[in-house]
Amino acid sequence: MAPDNLSPRYVEPILGIVFDLDGTLILSHHDFGHMRRELIRIAERYGVVPGHLSVSEPIAHLIDQAHTELAGRSVPETTIFRMEAEIHKRIDDIEMEALPRTVPRPGATSLLGALQEKGYRLAVLTRSSEMFCRSALLKAGLDPYFAYLRTRSAPGPAKPSPEALRLLLHEMEVPPDRALLVGDHLLDAECGTRASIRFYGLLSEPPEESGMTVDRFQAVGAAAVARSLPELGRMLGVLPAEPPSPGSR
């Protein structure tokens, strides 16, 4: 994942923090396997060769692969756009089924409250739909913290495109060298690295859910890795240090 520009230069203090949504701020227990299977089913109906798409790939990569394969066979753009629209509609439907199960990730409210109190500009960058993103933030009680968000429903590029992150930072009026992206997935790291934005990895809960580890995050350019949102708050200096365990010196 080579960055689009030269090595990033970061400036202190950080002024704005962009968060991934699912797995980072909320826990929604999406059925991603079902989403991928439905995506592949639709793509094959539009002409993608059966077996070319794997359910082990991230959804964003599957959509890109389907688009590239059909475009390479000179399938009309209007047909490809119809396929993508149908895929997104199906994913939207499956996504909304998870809303009743959606809860804030432990520590989200206290972290966001502390960041807001310190004057950070906060935003969400997600591949979820606009409807799910706003509904999930409302259900989790996190909507008051976010004046800015960009979803896959927004016009233009979506995460992990670096341009999606740059557009959001421009809207926030936060210089790229004073921004931070936080996420729990490889796609988040890819987005931040390609945009030359400082990126902090966040291990998922449970840790194995996203497949990311401290070593994997560091290998793809994470400037730091937190195991929880409270630990992230301590890294940023907005939450108090964890009290020592009994018997420790």
Cβ atoms of 132 and 99 closer than 8 Å:
yes
**What pLDDT band is residue 209 in, cutting at 50, 70 and 90?**
low
Query: What distance in Å separates the CA atoms of residue 36 and residue 59, rounded to the nearest whole number?
Result: 6
**What pLDDT band is residue 58 in, cutting at 50, 70 and 90?**
confident
Under DSSP, is residue 15 helix (H, G, I), strand (E, B) or coil?
Answer: coil
Indicate if the pLDDT at residue 1 is higher than 60. Answer: no
pTM for this prediction: 0.85
SS (H, E, C) 63-91: HHHHHHHHHHCCCCHHHHHHHHHHHHHHH
Query: What distance in Å separates the CA atoms of residue 121 and residue 119, rounded to the nearest whole number?
Result: 6
**What pLDDT band is residue 3 in, cutting at 50, 70 and 90?**
very low
Indicate if the pLDDT at residue 43 is higher than 90. Answer: yes
Q: What is the per-residue pLDDT across 163-184, written as a single tens digit (0 to 9) for each?
A: 999 999 999 999 999 999 999 9
Listed residue (111, 101, 168) closest to 140, CA to CA:
101
Helix (H) or strand (E) holding 225: strand 224-226
Indicate if the pLDDT at residue 2 is higher than 50. Answer: no
CATH code at 16-28+102-235: 3.40.50.1000
Query: What distance in Å separates the CA atoms of residue 22 and residue 88, rounded to the nearest whole number?
Result: 17
Q: What is the mean pLDDT of residues 233-237?
A: 97
Q: What is the mean pLDDT of residues 199-227?
A: 89
**What pLDDT band is residue 12 in, cutting at 50, 70 and 90?**
confident
Q: What is the per-residue pLDDT across 109-141, written as a single tens digit (0 to 9) for each?
A: 999 999 999 999 999 999 999 999 999 999 999
Q: What is the pLDDT of residue 236?
A: 97
Say which residue, 94 or 247, is predicted with more confidence.
94
Under DSSP, is residue 47 helix (H, G, I), strand (E, B) or coil?
Answer: coil
**What pLDDT band is residue 207 in, cutting at 50, 70 and 90?**
low
Percent of the chain's residues with pLDDT above 70: 92
Q: What is the mean pLDDT of residues 80-104?
A: 94
Domain boundaries, the chain: 16-28+102-235, 32-97
Length of the chain in terms of residues written:
249
Cβ atoms of 193 and 199 closer than 8 Å:
yes
Q: What is the pLDDT of residue 249?
A: 52
- β-bridge partners, 103: 27
Instruction: Fill in the DSSP letter of residue 187.
Output: H
Q: Look at 37-41, 115-119, 149-153, 209-213 and tell me which has the smallest mean pLDDT.
A: 209-213
Q: How many CA atoms lie within 13 A of 202 on its CB side?
A: 28
Listed residue (55, 31, 53) closest to 43, CA to CA:
53
